[in-house]
Amino acid sequence: MISGIPITHFLIVSTLMFFIGIYGFLTRRNLITMLMAIELILNSVNINFVVFNKYLYPDQMQGHFFALFIVAIAAAEASVAIALIINIYRRFTSIEVEDVDEMKY
């Protein structure tokens, strides 16, 4: 329980982050930017986990652990994604998603 700050404030922040992420993912064509947008989405979820844990079940730890797992997996995912992006760049000399269309009909 953090004194003086109601749960809704946290949730508003996380919701904003989530939709900023969604917006970025849908509108950007640059792979790196899209990756960053995905990180935003993940972290908004992280905030929710921690906050709900803290406010609803303060004597339990599951939410915290979940957040930690997500951070770890996000790191792994980012490294794999960056590796893919580098390879794509080597092949197409571009990281715009629209240029990667060899498998299209």
Partner 1 sequence: MNYLYTIWIPLIPLLVFIFTGLFGGRFKPLISGLIGTMGLLLTFILSLLTAWNFFFVNGISGEAYPVIIAAKTTWLQLTDHLKIDLGVMLDPISVMMLVVITTVSLMIHIYSLGYMKGERGFERFYAFLSLFTFSMLGLVVATNIFQMYIFWELVGVSSYLLIGFYYERPTAVAASKKAFIVTRFADLGFLIGILLLSFYTKTFDFAELTNPQSPVFAGITSVSFMGLSVITWAMLLIFMGGAGKSAMFPLHIWLPDAMEGPTPVSALIHAATMVVAGVYLVARMFPVYIVHTPDALTVIAWVGGFTSLFAAVIACTQFDIKRVLAYSTLSQIGYMMLALGVSGSGGEHGLGYMASMFHLFTHAMFKALLFLGAGSIIHAVHSNYLNDMGGLRKFLPVTHLTFLVACLAISGIPPFAGFFSKDEILVAAWQHNKVLFSIEYLVAGLTAFYMFRLYFGIFWNKTPHYHHTPHESPLTMTVPLVFLAIGSAFTGFIPFGRFVSADLRPFESEMHLNIALPSVLIAMAGISLAYVLYKKESPVVARIITAMGSFYRVVYNKFYIDEVYLFIAKRIMFNLVSRPIAWFDRHIVDGTMNRIAWLISVTSEKIKGIQSGQLQHYALAFVSGALILALIVLHNLS
Of positions 26, 58, 76, 93, contacts partner 1 by CB under 8 A = 26
Cβ 97 to partner 1, closest distance in Å? Answer: 7
As given in the structure block, the two tokens for residue 16 are 């904003």
Applying CB under 8 A, the span of 8-16, 22-30, 50-58, 63-71 interacting with partner 1 comes to 22-30
Cβ-in-10-Å burial (0-12, 13-18, 19+) of 80 comes to exposed
Of positions 15, 25, 50, 88, contacts partner 1 by CB under 8 A = 25
Applying CB under 8 A, the span of 7-15, 20-28, 46-54, 86-94 interacting with partner 1 comes to 20-28
Give whichever of 93 and 105 is closer to partner 1, judged by the CB atom. Answer: 105
Give whichever of 59 and 98 is closer to partner 1, judged by the CB atom. Answer: 98
Residue 98 interacts with partner 1 (CB under 8 A): yes or no: yes
Give whichever of 33 and 47 is closer to partner 1, judged by the CB atom. Answer: 33
Nearest to 82 by CA among 95, 70, 91: 95
What is the Cα 82 distance to its own chain's centre? 14
End-to-end CA distance of the chain: 55
Question: Any idea of the CA torsion for 73, 79, 81, 85, to the nearest 10 degrees?
Answer: 170
